[in-house]
Amino acid sequence: MKHKNLGACEDKVLSILALNKLGSEQRKTLNRVRKKLNRAKQCERITREEVFEIVRELAEALVESDGSME
């Protein structure tokens, strides 16, 4: 199953990582999520649950940032 929105999500994570306003833990978490997004994009048999897990992790990282990234 292809998920074109995963590519858009990865692009957004990359733009957030380009900012210098991140703490080291936030940066580490977002890098981990970016790698998972990249693997998910390439996977032919990714399940909806796996996609939801990646999105949940991304959302948690963004919430932890307290909105101070952009």
For 1-16, the DSSP string reads: ---HHHHHHHHHHHHH
**Ranges of the chain whose pLDDT falls below 70:** 1-3, 65-70
Q: What is the pLDDT of residue 1?
A: 47
pLDDT at 65: 61
Find all residues with CB under 8 Å of 63, minimum gap 6, and list them: none
The token pair at 54 is: 């990646």
> pTM of the predicted model, to two decimals?
0.70
Taking the domains of the chain in order of start, what are their residue ranges? 4-64
Report the amino acid identity of residue 42.
Answer: Q
pLDDT at site 19: 80
Q: Helices 48-64 and 24-42 sit at what angle, rounded to 10 degrees?
A: 160
Which tokens hold the place of 37? Answer: 């997004």
pLDDT tens profile 39-54: 888 887 888 888 888 8
